């Protein structure tokens, strides 16, 4: 059977635009002799549509789009289409909506399989919207019997997990019901090193059931989430027969009766994958939100330098504007480094000294600040002036402002609300400080030249809001901070766990308490692109007004 894998990038909410893409690729694939054309999970709505699913008009549009697709298949009776969509059901209670895979052939919806396992963890919240499937069925199509599952349905393989989240394995049920081909349509977001895990999962199903396993994943950036594609096909012996490229649209036809040669699973490079994920995230967030240009505050530091370099690779140098805003505490080297970076990247560069405004603010506040010692309030005025200037330029020239804080800083609140946190997208918000340096050096290495100045890479990080300030005046050394944060945020470890692991108790306690105390800042932060298994934002939901011992 010739099956076309459509690894495509839907626009969330654009049901009729996504449906048109289905019809276009159906026509093209049918002309090339495809028997079945397969699209990802919830492709018609785009994943994740979130509370759009609560709107009746939105569900009605999905049904209308299915009818339009059916009309196209009627003219192509030899080619069927499988697509993910939100499908109403007639259950007497519950959400009355399925996350379904719908098979359309010769003008009719001939079969549908709802998703059985609805993830409700990390960034997923599917029980908020959908009912789980009560039954699992297969469908005879031409000379094969299709076993169709949706994303999470394939993630409960008992051979891979010691602690399974669900009491059933839909893929095994499909195999036991006589499926001859297993197809999983997915919207599986990227995080570091997930590619190997997915490949192991798909291979395990193929080998365990001695059946071809076809996996079709979405690509694209939708808000914080980035979908990497990496769709793949394994034969019944667990051999990789096809693998679609990462982070790009691809349409590939495979013939399960005359399979392609056996492929070697690629060696996934973490730095390259994170770079490509962030590029796709920047590009899609900017484009899908209606912007064509971005603006960045350039401090001469590593975070803003990396953000600018990524923005140039994602959007082109003509679409990036860097602005330096020195104050009385800015070193001459910082302004020089910002200028060199801008020259290396070939971007527009402007300098706006903030000293006159800072002096004016201090003068206006002096009657009220009288008798108090200078401190954070005065330091943060500089950051807030910079945020105001950048937002003014963003507003005036319709540029998306990219914020430049990293995960380590956001974790412990080493950032200023309405200052350096101002903006529409936080590009490196999920990169620990150590990964910021790794990715910066990787970008220079890939370019074969110094895009990010070496002086930026080697100087001690500093907010430059007071004389001779460095980050390590306030924070533990970044390697220690990053390691503690990993254990707290991604591994959910307690203080005693951290001490047992070799960390100093007082350092670990300070980090944990500061993470909790800074939740109110992160609640007001711009969306951050997710590249680790556990990011701040929609996937980590902690209370603000709370007190707890950890």
Q: Which two tokens stand for residue 252?
A: 């590939």
Nearest to 538 by CA among 514, 516, 522: 522
Instruction: Give the pLDDT confidence score for residue 502 in this predicted structure.
Output: 96
> Considering only 41-45, 158-162, 168-172, 293-297, which range has the smallest mean pLDDT?
158-162
Q: Which two tokens stand for residue 24?
A: 């276009």
pLDDT in tens, 3-34: 999 999 999 999 999 999 999 999 999 999 99
Q: Are 23 and 69 spatial neighbours (Cβ–Cβ below 8 Å)?
A: yes
**What single DSSP character describes residue 113?**
E
**Rounded CA separation 59/130 (Å):** 12
Q: Which two tokens stand for residue 156?
A: 């409960």
Residues near 290 by Cβ (< 8 Å), separated by ≥ 6? none
- Within a 10 A sphere around the Cβ of 417, how many other Cβ atoms? 16
pTM of the predicted structure, to 2 decimals: 0.95
Q: Are 248 and 219 spatial neighbours (Cβ–Cβ below 8 Å)?
A: yes
Classified as helix, coil or strand, 427 is coil
Residue with tokens 């691809």: 250
Q: Would you say the C-alpha torsion 278, 196, 240, 2 has a positive or negative sign?
A: negative
pLDDT in tens, 172-216: 999 999 999 999 999 999 999 999 999 999 999 999 999 999 999
Residue with tokens 């003014």: 392
pLDDT in tens, 229-279: 999 999 999 999 999 999 999 999 999 988 779 999 988 999 999 999 999
The three state secondary structure string of 383-395 is HHHHHHHHHHHHH
- Within a 10 A sphere around the Cβ of 180, how many other Cβ atoms? 18
Question: Which CATH entry fits the domain spanning 275-475+518-523: 3.40.50.620, 3.90.950.20, 3.40.50.970, 3.40.50.720?
Answer: 3.40.50.620
Burial of 77 (0-12, 13-18, 19+ CB in 10 A): exposed
Q: Are 453 and 305 spatial neighbours (Cβ–Cβ below 8 Å)?
A: yes
Q: What is the mean pLDDT of the chain?
A: 95
Residue 163 has pLDDT above 90, yes or no: no
CA gyration radius, the chain? 26
Q: Which residue spans of the chain are classified as CATH 3.60.110.10? A: 2-258
Nearest to 364 by CA among 381, 380, 352: 381
Chain-centre distance for alpha carbon 549: 31
- Band (465; pLDDT cuts 50, 70, 90): low
Q: Are 9 and 220 spatial neighbours (Cβ–Cβ below 8 Å)?
A: yes
Which class is domain 2-258? alpha beta
Q: Which residues of 162-176 are buried (b: 16+ CB within 10 A; e: fewer)?
A: eeeebeebbbbbbbe
Going through 115-177 in order, the beta strands assigned E by DSSP cover: 139-141, 144-150
Residues near 396 by Cβ (< 8 Å), separated by ≥ 6? none
Residue with tokens 């963003």: 394
Q: Which residue spans of the chain are classified as CATH 3.40.50.620? A: 275-475+518-523
Instruction: Give the pLDDT confidence score for residue 464 in this predicted structure.
Output: 65
Instruction: Give the pLDDT confidence score for residue 158 in this predicted structure.
Output: 78
pLDDT in tens, 287-336: 999 999 999 999 999 999 999 999 999 999 999 999 999 988 877 878 99
Q: Which two tokens stand for residue 17?
A: 């635009």
- Band (164; pLDDT cuts 50, 70, 90): confident
**Rounded CA separation 133/4 (Å):** 26
Nearest to 136 by CA among 99, 100, 174: 174
Question: How crowded is the C-beta side of 126, counted as CA atoms within 13 Å?
Answer: 27
Indicate the Cα dihedral angle 390, 394, 399, 402, nearest 10°: 40
Classified as helix, coil or strand, 546 is coil
Q: Which residues of 257-285 are buried (b: 16+ CB within 10 A; e: fewer)?
A: eebeeeeeeeeeeebebbbbbbbbbbbbb
Chain-centre distance for alpha carbon 454: 29
Residues near 500 by Cβ (< 8 Å), separated by ≥ 6? none
Burial of 480 (0-12, 13-18, 19+ CB in 10 A): middle
**Rounded CA separation 339/351 (Å):** 9
Q: How far is CA 4 from CA 1, 28, 31, 85, 186, in A?
A: 10, 10, 12, 18, 15
Nearest to 523 by CA among 547, 546, 542: 542
Residue 463 has pLDDT above 90, yes or no: no
Residue 461 has pLDDT above 90, yes or no: no
Active-site residues, by number, are: 41, 115, 151
Residue 468 has pLDDT above 80, yes or no: no
Pairing between β-strand 108-114 and β-strand 97-105 as defined by DSSP bridges: antiparallel
Instruction: Give the pLDDT confidence score for residue 298 in this predicted structure.
Output: 97
């Amino acid at each position: 059977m010739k099956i076309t894998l459509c690894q495509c990038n839907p626009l969330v909410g654009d049901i009729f635009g996504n449906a048109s893409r289905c019809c276009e690729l159906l026509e093209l694939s049918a002309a090339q002799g495809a028997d079945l054309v397969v699209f990802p999970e919830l492709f018609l709505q785009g994943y994740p549509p979130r509370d759009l699913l609560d709107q009746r008009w939105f569900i009605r549009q999905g049904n209308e789009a299915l009818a339009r697709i059916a009309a196209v298949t009627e003219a192509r009776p030899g080619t069927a289409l499988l697509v993910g969509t939100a499908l109403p059901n007639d259950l007497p209670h519950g959400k009355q909506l399925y996350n379904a895979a719908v098979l359309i052939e010769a003008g009719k919806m001939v079969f549908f399989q709802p998703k059985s396992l609805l993830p409700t963890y990390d960034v997923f919240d599917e029980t908020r919207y959908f009912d789980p499937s009560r039954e699992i069925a297969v469908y005879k199509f031409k000379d094969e019997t299709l076993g169709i599952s949706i994303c999470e349905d394939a993630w409960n393989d008992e051979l891979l997990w010691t602690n399974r989240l669900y009491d059933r394995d839909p893929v095994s049920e499909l195999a036991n019901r006589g499926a001859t081909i297993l197809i999983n349509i997915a919207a599986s977001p990227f995080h570091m090193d997930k590619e190997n895990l997915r490949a192991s999962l798909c291979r395990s199903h193929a080998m365990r059931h001695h059946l071809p396993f076809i996996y079709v994943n979405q690509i694209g950036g939708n808000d914080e989430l980035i979908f990497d594609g990496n769709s793949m096909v394994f034969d019944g012996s667990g051999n990789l027969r096809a693998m679609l490229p990462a982070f790009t649209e691809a349409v590939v036809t495979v013939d399960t009766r005359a399979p392609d040669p056996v492929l070697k699973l690629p060696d996934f490079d973490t730095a390259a994958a994170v770079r490509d994920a962030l590029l796709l995230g920047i590009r899609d967030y900017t484009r899908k939100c209606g912007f064509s240009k971005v603006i960045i505050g350039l401090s001469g530091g590593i975070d803003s330098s990396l953000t600018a370099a990524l923005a140039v690779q994602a959007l082109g140098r003509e679409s990036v504007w860097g602005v330096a805003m020195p104050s009385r505490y800015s070193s001459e080297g910082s302004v020089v480094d910002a200028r060199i970076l801008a020259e290396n990247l070939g971007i527009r560069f402007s300098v706006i000294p903030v000293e006159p405004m800072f002096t004016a603010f201090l003068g206006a506040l002096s009657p009220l600040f009288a008798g108090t010692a200078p401190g954070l309030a005065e330091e943060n005025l500089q950051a807030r002036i910079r945020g105001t200037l950048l937002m003014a330029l963003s507003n005036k020239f319709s540029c998306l402002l990219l914020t430049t804080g990293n995960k380590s800083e956001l974790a412990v609140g080493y950032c200023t609300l309405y200052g350096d946190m101002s903006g529409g997208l936080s590009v490196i918000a999920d990169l620990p400080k150590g990964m910021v340096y790794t990715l910066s050096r990787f970008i220079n290495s890939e370019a074969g030249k110094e895009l990010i100045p070496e002086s930026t890479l080697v100087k001690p990080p500093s907010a430059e809001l007071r004389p001779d300030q460095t980050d390590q005046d306030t924070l533990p050394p970044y390697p220690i901070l990053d390691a503690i944060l990993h254990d707290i945020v991604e591994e959910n470890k307690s203080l005693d766990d951290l001490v047992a692991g070799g960390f100093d108790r007082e350092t670990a306690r300070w980090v944990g308490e500061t993470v909790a105390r800074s939740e109110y800042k992160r609640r007001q932060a711009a969306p951050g692109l997710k590249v680790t298994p556990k990011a701040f934002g929609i996937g980590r939901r902690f209370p603000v007004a709370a007190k707890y011992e950890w």
